[in-house]
Structure 1
Amino acid sequence: MSKIKFGVFPAKNNGAKRKEMVFAPNPLSLSVPEPAFESWLRDSGYLEILDQRTTDLNRLPAATKPSNSAAAAAASDSAAPSISPDGVFFISQIVSGIWTLLSLFTFSPFSKLATDDFSGETPSWTLAFFGSAESYSFPSSPSQARLRVHENVKRFARNYASLIVLFLACSLYQLPVALLGLISCLALWDAFKFSGDRWGLDKYPVFRQTLIRVAQCVTAVILFISNVQMAIFCALGVSYAVMILHASFRKLTPAKQLDVRGGHKKTARR
């Protein structure tokens, strides 16, 4: 009795002398489409597998291109001088990398950010945030870059917020006039709040609103004269560029692994 594999049926041979057994297609033999499989990985939390899978899929065409170098070299002997296949491949890689970096500025990295992402504990700066040299790689496609940015911004939201404050403090340190203007604005509003509570300005809403408008105008003049907006713009610009580059080059690692490395390992309840 011949053995029949599960999921396929043997086709009729009609008296042919062939010894091989031909199997007819069976509708029970199903395969999962690529978009559905990627959606399942994303919904199940296996983002690191999806990240590595995207890199491997984009490396497949690159591995097959050098195999045609011999035929291209033979054809180049009889044809006019042209760019070698290696040069074309190198130029295409550069153009693809530039396009991937430019695509980082075409979407909002904060679209999936929630307030709960700032309520947890700050991941470790050494092992979780910076990691090692193996924790970084160039994104192979714009879709992979967007996936990394969205996930890493959620994971390292508190780290990026600390970097923004650090860059703002450094920019104000380089501009003492802007630092003095910012302190003056904070002192002005603190004095306004103290005076309002002491004099009972809540009983005079019209007069209170007039004082608020005057304080706003004075604050705008102080910020403009002391050039505080330039310091804030520089701090936000530098911190945004650092965040985008780090989030796009940082590989996605399992969230449980980050918790264990950061010293926040949770034990299951019995």
Structure 2
Amino acid sequence: MISIILGDHLDRRSRSISGSPNKDKTHPFSVFRGRTELYSFPESQSEAAARVQENVRQFNGNYIFVFVIFFLLSLYKQPIPFLTLLASFPVTDYLDKLIIKTGLDQAYPFVRRLLFFISKLGIAALLMRTEVVIAFFFSLLAAYFAMMLHGALRILHE
């Protein structure tokens, strides 16, 4: 779910930067990793920034996959937080469908929004309690660091 949201955001971002959507969603990891000759230190800050932008444009699917791997590895030894995260999506969906089924959304639209907000707060508190949010942010930080390092050191054109 998270990778779908991030993937959609990065895809829209890449379209706004390049003007057209990426035809190749995800490159194979052999291309993503590349040969050792494809890596060097940039000569200036502007060259590093250009490398990062181009590499993010080309390898956004790979970077999302790296984030998902970091996130799953951070929850590997903690099955309860992972199951809590997985259970939170159907619970929220069920509550929303229950509100629609009972007709509260038509009679009292504010009540629907209030109940939905309360359920989101409860799920957020539960996820904070089970440390899913902490694992998410550490995984995001690690993936961002890996993206910046890979993007800055990898030469633009093969």
Q: Please report the TM-score for the alignment, with normalisation by the length of structure 1.
A: 0.48
Specify the SS of the correspondent of 1:240.
Answer: helix
Specify the SS of the correspondent of 1:140.
Answer: coil
Q: Extract unaligned runs of 5+ from structure 2.
A: 1-9
The structure 2 residue matched to 1:158, chosen from 51, 55, 61, is: 61
The alignment status of 1:186 with 2:79, answered yes or no, reads: no
User: With CA pairs under 8 Å and 6+ residues apart, which has the higher RCO, 1 or 2?
Assistant: 2
1:114 equivalent in structure 2: 14
Percent identity of paired positions between Structure 1 and Structure 2: 32
Residue 117 of structure 1: how far off its partner (Å)? 4.7
Q: Extract unaligned runs of 5+ from structure 1.
A: 1-109, 255-270
1:174 equivalent in structure 2: 77
CA contact (8 A) 1:177 1:227 kept: no
**Matched residue type, 1:124:** P
- Which structure has the larger Rg? 1
2:117 equivalent in structure 1: 213
Over 3 Å counting, the alpha-carbon distance change for 1:214 and 1:163 in structure 2 is: same
Residue 193 of structure 1: how far off its partner (Å)? 2.7
> What is the alpha-carbon distance in structure 1 between the residues aligned to residue 151 and residue 93 of structure 2?
38
CA deviations on 1:111-138 (whole Å, 9 max, x unpaired) are xx42455664322221x21111111112
Figure out how many residues of one structure are paired with residues of the other and give that number. 142
The alignment status of 1:199 with 2:89, answered yes or no, reads: no
CA contact (8 A) 1:178 1:231 kept: no
The structure 1 residue matched to 2:43, chosen from 140, 153, 159, is: 140
**Matched residue type, 1:196:** I
**Matched residue type, 2:148:** I
Over 3 Å counting, the alpha-carbon distance change for 1:119 and 1:197 in structure 2 is: farther
**RMSD over aligned Cα, in angstroms?**
2.1
Q: Whose helix fraction is larger, Structure 1's or Structure 2's?
A: 2
Over 3 Å counting, the alpha-carbon distance change for 1:117 and 1:158 in structure 2 is: farther
Q: Please report the TM-score for the alignment, with normalisation by the length of structure 2.
A: 0.78
